[in-house]
Amino acid sequence: MCRGRGFCRLSYCPLLASRTALVKLRRVESSKEIFGSSPPSVFVGRYGYPVINIGPSIPPEVGDTSIYDFPEKWLELRLENVIDYRWSLITGTVRVKVTDLNNSFIHRVHEVTLSAKPIDVEAYLEKPPRPRITLSEYEPPQGPRAPLRDLRVVGNPSVPRVVDRVYNDKYLKASDAVMILYNSNIPVTFIERVFSVGALGLWSNRRIVPTRWSITAVDSTISEHLLKEVKHYPEISSIEVYVRRHYDNLFAALLIPSKWSFEWMEAWWPGSTWNPGLEKVVVEGDYEGFCGRDSYPNIGGCYYASRLAVVEHLYGRRKQATAVLLREIYPGFNIPIGVWFVRENVRAMFREGPALRTSDLSEALKFISEETRLGSRKWLNSSRILKRVAYIKPITYYTNISFREGERRSD
């Protein structure tokens, strides 16, 4: 009766997503040989570290498959299309030690990963791939996997010159290589892939890095480098409020005139991904002050993904501010699809411009009450930084009072 019209109230159609992918996979479900154009894409597991599974991901299609692993372009697509693309990727994996970079198989993986365009690949599996779907909060959905017996790179990789340069520079630190690629307009997703296969850094220190770790590492590295500049910029002149709604998610940001500090908070409604059975909304978050933080945030990789988007925005404006980001996740969004969803939505929110500019915090909080379901009072009570801004006077407030009183006495 529904036929994809949203009667289930989910933000995507699970039937369309899974069945479209299964149609593609039926071509290879009984085959041990896979031929297709890798987007390029690669998966690096984390279980058993430092001995892990690694291998390329290949759709059973030839041609321009770049959209299969290009999160920077996914916001323009329907969510079921993204899921379909990801579930259509077949990954053949080999178990290797993270320091074994002289392995001939890893060299072929590097050929695939460093290419900026899809590359034709033949994979010979130990057994037919099982149609098992893997979902994660950190990385995009993954399709079927199977042990890999052999891998042949049929096409010629198209490696950007700057990528080739940092790959072959054995004396360049990984963090410096990441920033060279970023400043050369290489997409963050591409940098994360290259980082994960151990293609960057001092030769003696290179390691294969699990996919979910490399995503957070790159987001964190880029934002830390940009923050070194942002912290020297002048503060914004007024409070700015940004709002974006996308697939049963609401994103909001308050940029407040002050020195840099940052907070990321999430409110999960009952029936959403990480709050499936509770009867109340759960709010979680983490924050940092001007000097940053020295521990991994409990809220996970979304913290660094959202921080990167905020810092990029401020860096582009040559300004600094205190940033408080809010996310409300409603019951229709019940599938984890990776931190890319947060990073790209926050980027898009800032591109759309502020919904409100004001010099009055109470006006900004009133606007947040009108735009969010949770309301500003609950957000304020859950936030460390908002409470500090609302209730604690800065030292300049008292020095200005003393200065004005001194003027009156001299008069």
Asked whether residue 213 is domain-assigned, the answer is no
Bigger pLDDT: 344 or 332?
Answer: 344
Asked whether residue 198 is domain-assigned, the answer is no
Looking at residue 305, its pLDDT comes to 96
Q: Are residues 256 and 371 in the same domain?
A: yes
Q: Are residues 111 and 243 in the same domain?
A: no
Looking at residue 84, its pLDDT comes to 82
pLDDT-derived band at 141, boundaries 50, 70, 90: confident
Element (H, E) at 356: strand 356-358
Final residue in a domain of this structure, among 121, 153, 185 = 153
Write the DSSP symbol of residue 234.
Answer: P
Looking at residue 76, its pLDDT comes to 86
Asked whether residue 294 is domain-assigned, the answer is yes
Q: Are residues 246 and 132 in the same domain?
A: no
Tally: H helices and E strands in the chain = 13, 12
Asked whether residue 162 is domain-assigned, the answer is no
pLDDT at 411 over 60: no
pLDDT-derived band at 2, boundaries 50, 70, 90: low
Token pair belonging to 72: 């920077």
Of 3, 36, 44, nearest in space to 194 by CA: 44
Looking at residue 406, its pLDDT comes to 57
Alpha helices in 137-210 (DSSP H): 161-168, 174-183, 188-196
Asked whether residue 302 is domain-assigned, the answer is yes
Tally of domains within the chain: 2
Asked whether residue 375 is domain-assigned, the answer is yes
- Mean pLDDT in residue range 121-125: 93
Model confidence, pTM? 0.88
In angstroms, the CA 14 to CA 79 distance is 10
Q: Are residues 256 and 356 in the same domain?
A: yes
Q: Which domain holds residue 364?
A: 239-395
Asked whether residue 97 is domain-assigned, the answer is yes
Task: For 176-297, list the strands marked E by DSSP.
Answer: 239-245, 249-256, 261-268, 282-288
SS3 191: helix
Asked whether residue 400 is domain-assigned, the answer is no
Bigger pLDDT: 10 or 121?
Answer: 121
Looking at residue 404, its pLDDT comes to 54
Final residue in a domain of this structure, among 97, 125, 153 = 153
Q: Are residues 369 and 255 in the same domain?
A: yes
Give the pLDDT confidence of 268-317 residue by residue, as tens digits.
998 777 777 767 898 999 999 999 998 999 888 899 999 999 999 999 99
